[in-house]
Amino acid sequence: MSNVVYAQHLAIVDPRFRQLVLPNAPLHQLHTGSCWTEGPVWFGDHGCLLWSDIPNNRMLRWIESGVSVFRQPSNFANGNTRDNQGRLVTCEHGTRRVTRTEFNGRIRVLADSFDGRKLNSPNDVVVKSDGTVWFTDPTYGIDNDYEGYAAQPEYGGCYLFCFDPRDGTLRAAATDFDKPNGLAFSVDERTLYVVDTGGTHTAGGPHHIRALRVSDENRVRESSLFQEVSPGFPDGLRLDRHGNIWTSAGDGVHCYAPDGTLLGKILVPEVVSNVCFGGARQSRLFITASSSLYAVNLNVSGAAAAR
Ligand code: MG
């Protein structure tokens, strides 16, 4: 692309991207040696980042002074977020469930079946301000024994689910995805961005982000293509406070304006799976990428709901 200006790890495609990044802020590799990193989630109250190393069946914890194991075995945990009370919410491939870690450390199962059949392998999760837990359920964790345990799908689809902890109900919010993956709400929570990575299994299949209009009653009213992402796949994503979408891709992190315009990229030397905002000002972008964890300081903070 002729108008791309490379400044170290930054690819500025649209001039607006300059307002969002810090050209002199380096891309740091904070840890390496994992097999496939995913699920970054920031705990400002503990000054730490938790993330998943899926094939190694563990979750890791980064603080300024170093990295330690947070949970092992992790039941092949994948996506993580926090609920409105700050509790850790985790997608587990190995147990095919979504859990919440209580303040006393006890792990409570939020959802593990739909219509009496096991979930596939919950992949990524976000909590809305009303407390509902939205998660995707593709088959990556039951396709083989690398990221979970090989098994058959039971309910016959790969759905986007909405779990309401107030009454314990689990509802299929959208059933027309191939492989639903990362997800994040817009700042006003009226749009839910959901990735479809069906192209991992089907040549020419989806590698895009869809925008779902969500009603106040949590019903999906419309769905449209937001943006195709290439190279690679948009796996996980988060929003900044302006509503820009920061998503993983094959060559790094892509940043899209709310109208779908590609603003720029953070080029990362490994395939990126997911991102999250953290740090004291919520403006440090943590990046899980293949075997490593990276971070870069930005000139914008994450959306309040971008946990
Ligand atoms: Mg994912």
β-strands 48-53, 58-63 pairing:
antiparallel
Tell me the CA–centroid distance for residue 3 and ligand 1, in Å. Answer: 31
Tell me the CA–centroid distance for residue 288 and ligand 1, in Å. Answer: 11
Find out whether 184 and 245 touch, Cβ atoms under 8 Å: yes
Find out whether 206 and 178 touch, Cβ atoms under 8 Å: yes
Find out whether 209 and 245 touch, Cβ atoms under 8 Å: yes
Neighbouring C-beta atoms of residue 153, cutoff 10 Å: 18
The confidence score (pLDDT) of residue 206 equals 87
Q: Which DSSP string corresponds to 108-160?
A: EEEE-EETTEE------EEE-TTS-EEEE--STTTSSSSSS-----SSSS--E
Q: Which DSSP string corresponds to 164-203?
A: ETTTTEEEEEE---SSEEEEEE-TTSSEEEEEE-GGGTST
* Mean pLDDT confidence for 122-145: 97
* Mean pLDDT confidence for 42-66: 97
The confidence score (pLDDT) of residue 1 equals 35
pLDDT tens-digit profile of 33-51?
Answer: 999 999 999 999 999 999 9
Largest Cα separation within the chain, whole Å, is 54
What is this structure's pTM? Answer: 0.95
Find out whether 176 and 166 touch, Cβ atoms under 8 Å: no
Tell me the CA–centroid distance for residue 235 and ligand 1, in Å. Answer: 5
Find out whether 196 and 182 touch, Cβ atoms under 8 Å: no
DSSP-derived letter for residue 241 is T
Tell me the CA–centroid distance for residue 136 and ligand 1, in Å. Answer: 9
Tell me the CA–centroid distance for residue 91 and ligand 1, in Å. Answer: 10
Tell me the CA–centroid distance for residue 236 and ligand 1, in Å. Answer: 5
Q: Which long-range contacts (CB under 8 A, 24 or more apart) does 46-50 make?
A: 49/276, 49/278, 49/286, 49/293, 50/80, 50/88
Tell me the CA–centroid distance for residue 153 and ligand 1, in Å. Answer: 18
Tell me the CA–centroid distance for residue 195 and ligand 1, in Å. Answer: 9
Tell me the CA–centroid distance for residue 106 and ligand 1, in Å. Answer: 25
DSSP-derived letter for residue 16 is G
pLDDT at residue 6 is higher than 70? no
